Structure 1
Amino acid sequence: MNTLKAEKRSMDIKAKKLRREGFVTGNVFGKKLAESIPVKIEKSAIEKLLKTSHKGSQIMLDIDGESYQVLIKDVEYNPLKGQVDEIDFQALVSDEKVHSVAEIELVDHEKVVYGVLEQFLEEIQLRALPAALVDKVEINVGELKVGESIKVKDLPIYQNKDIDILTDPEATIVTIQEVHNAPEADEEAEESTEA
């Protein structure tokens, strides 16, 4: 599990000033915390973390030497600057179910040679105890044929009794569509060459 170092943030200093100084601001909230903890984290540490972790991942957060097991709850990007502005964490309690998301990752898509692969869902909403949380669902699409699709209810995670899937079980995640050429254009081209 990744560990991220953070410092308690003084609310006297504006977030914009901290961002200019190379920090990302954030908050830690949770049932067992008396109040949320405003934090600041070095931007380079966040960039390194987000290469291996993402929204829905569990990490250890070290705030001024005190460790918290947390879930990355939300990551707010600044699209103009191409960087993270804000990141929020939920402090986990072993006996409390939490809402989270699992990122969908398609594998073996290069094996799909007939048809067009279409992905409709990027993530699955779920609820589980910290010990049962997953942050990624891999789907092997290499064996799919034209016209076939995978729905949420087809995933092994859907059968896991420790995880409550909140996304519609009938929702299609991925499908293989038939490739459609434009026959009218071909016919017109043939007619014009004959004339």
Structure 2
Amino acid sequence: MNTLKAEKRSLDVKAKRLRREGYVVGNVFGREMKGSIPVKMVKRDVEKLLKTDHKGSQIMLDVDGAAYDVLIKNVDYNPVAGQIDSIEFQALVSNEKVHSVAEIVLVNHEKIAEGVLQEDLNEVAYMAYPASLVDQVMVDVGEMKIGDVIRVKDLSLAADPDITIKTNPESIVVSLMASHNVEALAEDTEEAEEK
């Protein structure tokens, strides 16, 4: 589990000024905390962390020497400025289920000889105790044939008794469709000529 260092921040200093000084602002909240803790983190450290961890990841947050087992709840990214504006962290309690998301990662797509993969979902929402949190679900698409569909209920996450899926179990994660080929183009041309 990765650790990110943070400092408590004074609300007297505006977030905009901290961003100019090379910080990312954030907030830590949780059931067993009185209020929330406004924090600031070094931008470079946050960018490094987000290369491996993302929304839904569990990390250790070191706030002025106090360690918190947290979930990255939300990452606000400013595409215009090309920077991370803020991050929300939820402090975890071992006996409390939390809402989270797991990123869907398709593997073995290079083994598909024909057809076109259509990915309909890129994350699955679920609830779990901190010990059962996952941030990625690997979906092996290597054996798929044209017409095959993988739904949320087919994922390994859905079979885990410690996890409660919140995304509709019937939702399609990925499907393999026939690619539109030259024959289809020829049929369309014949229909157009008949009209």
Where on the TM-score scale, by shorter chain, does this alignment land: which range? over 0.9
The residue that corresponds to 1:16 in the other structure is 16
Q: CA RMSD in A?
A: 1.3
Contact residue 137 and residue 156 of structure 2 kept, 8 A:
no
In the alignment of these two chains, the number of paired residues is: 189
1:72-103 deviations in whole A, cap 9, x for unaligned?
Answer: 00000000122111001000000000000000
Task: Confirm whether residue 7 of structure 1 aligns to residue 7 of structure 2.
Answer: yes
SS of match in other structure, 1:105: strand
Cα distance between partner residues in 2 of 1:89 and 1:79: 21
Q: How does 1:154-193 map to 2 (within 5 A)?
A: 154-181=154-181, 182-184=185-187
Cα distance between partner residues in 2 of 1:42 and 1:112: 43
Give 4+ residue runs of structure 1 displaced > 6 Å after superposition: none
Task: Confirm whether residue 37 of structure 1 aligns to residue 37 of structure 2.
Answer: yes
Q: How does 1:135-150 map to 2 (within 5 A)?
A: 135-150=135-150
Task: Confirm whether residue 57 of structure 1 aligns to residue 60 of structure 2.
Answer: no
SS of match in other structure, 2:93: coil
Cα distance between partner residues in 2 of 1:153 and 1:44: 39
SS of match in other structure, 1:158: helix
1:10-31 deviations in whole A, cap 9, x for unaligned?
Answer: 0000000000000000000000
Q: Percent identity?
A: 61
Unaligned stretches of 5+ in structure 1?
Answer: none
1:28-60 deviations in whole A, cap 9, x for unaligned?
Answer: 000011010000000000000001101000000
SS of match in other structure, 2:110: helix
TM-score for both structures, normalised by structure 2 = 0.94
Cα distance between partner residues in 2 of 1:168 and 1:34: 34
TM-score for both structures, normalised by structure 1 = 0.94
The residue that corresponds to 1:68 in the other structure is 68
SS of match in other structure, 1:17: helix
